[in-house]
Structure formats: structure tokens, C-alpha cells
Amino acid sequence: MKYNIALLKGDGIGPEIVDSAVRVLEKIGAKYGHEFCFTSYLIGGAAIDACGEPLPKETVEGCLASDSVLLGAVGGPKWDTLPGNCRPEKALLGIRAAMGLFTNLRPAKLYPALKDECPLRADIVENGFDIMIVRELTGGIYFGERGMRQGKWGEEAYDTECYSRMEIERIAKVAFETALKRNKRVISIDKANVLESSRLWRKIMHETAEKYPTVQYSDMLVDNAAMELVRNPAQFDVVVTSNMFGDILSDEASQITGSIGMLPSASLGETARGLYEPIHGSAPDIAGQHKANPIATILSAGMMLLHSFGLSKENADIVNAVDAVLAAGYRTADLSHGAPYLSTEEITDKILEQI
């Protein structure tokens, strides 16, 4: 099979980690007889420097014409003084909207070889954990009405949380369908004791749960969920939540896995085309030093194979290769604690050897 993949390398360590993922995809292609064709487009700060805007029209068109998209990272202090609508991060919201990506899948898995990296007590993570956070991506407070006005105490700012039935129903379906392929448990996170938007969210989640009788369903308030993630993370299988809550909880979950450099993500819509990226940032302080951990991006490429192309065995090869490399004791700079470590290219070489 032939697949056309748009590469958005972006800023900072983005080009390095995307290059590593491309090498892994090429190895998978050679092993299984697939042809992956890569086309690079500008995004973020690199796009601002080249053409004055974070998300050029050519980039959007290229992504929409591709079979799927692999993104590195955007942003850096060089562009921090730009107005909000001109900053590199604006491109992320723009490309997600253009591609119609309303679901963000963020797995948080504690690898057995990295148990000592987890900041939680050993007895809490003795059996590890494997969580899939299903985050609504294009609604909620990040996309609601906002502005500045004169209020009771003078100047004030406001942001509005809004969710429609349609938005909640489609993310609920993704969560329950995902659970059917895992351990058949869904926990919905909301703030229904305070927020009207959460009350509608909870109502529709309950309606959807009735259509999936084999899936164990429960609700949890977001403040309690933040505590439970560090008290007993193994209780979670599939977590579904709103845009802002998902943004916060997925970052919390990333920290209890040992390193944010290990965690991939997938942004999906109604079609098979998706946007795949590591959840970490551009890390400009280590860009070009060969210290970046490419594993999250490599695993993101694996998620692309699984979710967009239906290549489950090929994705399993990547996941198993990462497991084997970690089990053998190989580490990148973020996991080395001052001990000798492998460069971005060297850890990629080790993963390639296992495929």
C-alpha cells in the first residue's frame, strides 16, 4: 500500500524527532511492503519566519490532501512577544479546525522498565497502569466567546464554556468504542456540581452508556479525578472529558509515567485522516544538541499506522521495539539522571534494530 504523509516538523526539536519517526516508518514500510511518501510543510515559528504567518494556506491544503499528518512541535521564546493570534501555537488550533479533528487520544502508560521514574510510591504503581484519555478537542471554553469588558469591579476578561448535544454525543461515541477495544471501562470527568455545561455533558454520557451495556460506566468530578490520578491511576481505563479538563488531566497523567518525552497522541475526526504528535513541547533549549527523546513521536507514528491506516501489526512492532529497548536499559537524556545516555539518533537506531 502507498500512503501520503504530511510532515509538519515545526520548531525547536521538532525536526529532529520527526526525522526519527520517518526513519522508523521507512523501516516498517520496507518490512511489510508499504510505501510511505513524505511531504514537508511549514508550521509555527518556522512558518512565521518564512512567510509571516503560523499556518500558511499551502500547509492546510497539503494536510487536507494527505492520508495523514505527523507533527513535531511548535513555539519558542523567539516568538513569545507576538500577539496571541499571530503566535506559533495559533497554528495548532487552526490545523485541528481545518482538518475537523474533534477527538484527542492521549495514552498514558507506565512502562515496566520505567517504574523507578514514576514519582508515585512503588506500591501504588506496582502493577503499572495504561490509561487512554479521550479529550474533546474543538469545543468548550477554548473556542467559546471571549473578550474584555467593564464589569462590577472595573476592567475584566471573560471566556465562555459552551457544548452542544452533537459535540458531546460524538466524543462519547469515540470513548465507548475505544473502551470496547480495551478493558471496557469508561469514566467521564466533569464538574456537574457547578457547571451547566457539565450537567448536559453528564446527561448525554449517561444516555450513550445505555447503548453500550457491556461497558462499565461511571462519573467523576474533575477535582476528584486530579486526586485519584495520583492516588490510584490503575483504576482508570478510558477517561473521557472536555477540552480544558482533558488538557490539564492529560498533562498530569504524563508526569506519572516518568517522562513527558514518552507520550504520543492522536487527533481524529470523522475520516481516517488524523494528526499525530508527541504531547511535549518544542524544547528550544536542547534543540540541535541531539538530546531530544524521539520515542513519543515514534509512538505517535505507530498510532497513525493503527488509527488512520488500520495497520495493527505494524503498530505493535513499533510498540514492542520501544518496550525491548527500554527493557534493555537504554535511556535518553531526559531519563538518564546524569548517567550516560543515547542521543536522539542512537536511541532511534536501537529501536530500528528491534523491528
Question: Do 250 and 168 fall into the same domain?
Answer: yes
Q: What is the pLDDT of residue 127?
A: 84
Q: What is the pLDDT of residue 254?
A: 87
Q: Report the mean per-residue pLDDT for the chain.
A: 95
b/e code 148-158 from CB counts within 10 Å (16+ = b): eeeeeeeeeee
Of the residues 57, 223, 285, 313, which is catalytic? 223
Question: Do 225 and 196 fall into the same domain?
Answer: yes
| Cβ proximity of 274 and 268 under 8 Å | yes
> Average of pLDDT values for 96-116?
91
Confidence of residue 303 (pLDDT cuts 50, 70, 90): very high
Q: For residues 133 and 118, give the distance between their C-alpha atoms in angstroms, rounded to a whole number.
A: 19
User: How much is the pTM?
Assistant: 0.91
Final residue in a domain of this structure, among 256, 287, 310: 256
Q: Is 158 a catalytic residue?
A: no
Q: Is 142 a catalytic residue?
A: yes
Question: Do 220 and 330 fall into the same domain?
Answer: no
Q: Tens of pLDDT along 83-97?
A: 877 899 999 989 998
Final residue in a domain of this structure, among 234, 256, 278: 256
Structural domain includes residue 111:
no
> Average of pLDDT values for 210-239?
97
| Cβ proximity of 130 and 179 under 8 Å | no
> Average of pLDDT values for 338-342?
91
Structural domain includes residue 48:
yes
Question: Do 51 and 136 fall into the same domain?
Answer: no
Q: What is the pLDDT of residue 238?
A: 98
Q: Tens of pLDDT along 268-287?
A: 999 999 999 999 999 999 99
Q: Is 247 a catalytic residue?
A: yes
Look at the chain and report how many structural domains it folds into.
2
| Cβ proximity of 264 and 105 under 8 Å | no
Of the residues 9, 90, 191, 291, which is catalytic? 191
CA 175, 178, 180: angle at the middle one, nearest 5?
115
Residue 71 has pLDDT above 90, yes or no: yes
Of the residues 115, 142, 184, 323, which is catalytic? 142
SS3 297: helix
Of the residues 19, 251, 323, 349, which is catalytic? 251
Domain carrying residue 193: 119-147+157-256
Q: What is the pLDDT of residue 113?
A: 86
Q: What is the pLDDT of residue 337?
A: 85
Q: What is the pLDDT of residue 273?
A: 97
Residue 7 has pLDDT above 90, yes or no: yes
Question: Do 125 and 197 fall into the same domain?
Answer: yes
Confidence of residue 2 (pLDDT cuts 50, 70, 90): very high
Residue 259 has pLDDT above 90, yes or no: no
Percent of the chain with pLDDT over 70: 100
Question: Do 247 and 277 fall into the same domain?
Answer: no
Here the cell at position 343 is 542521543
Of the residues 190, 219, 247, 334, which is catalytic? 247
Residue 298 has pLDDT above 90, yes or no: yes
Final residue in a domain of this structure, among 202, 231, 256: 256
CATH number of the domain where residue 241 is located: 3.40.718.10
Q: For residues 151 and 166, give the distance between their C-alpha atoms in angstroms, rounded to a whole number.
A: 33
Confidence of residue 112 (pLDDT cuts 50, 70, 90): confident
Confidence of residue 326 (pLDDT cuts 50, 70, 90): very high
Q: Tens of pLDDT along 154-170?
A: 999 999 999 999 999 99
The DSSP H or E segment spanning 50 is: helix 45-51
> Average of pLDDT values for 110-120?
88
> Average of pLDDT values for 258-277?
93
Structural domain includes residue 70:
yes
Q: Is 334 exposed, middle or buried (0-12, 13-18, 19+ CB in 10 A)?
A: buried
Question: Do 236 and 163 fall into the same domain?
Answer: yes
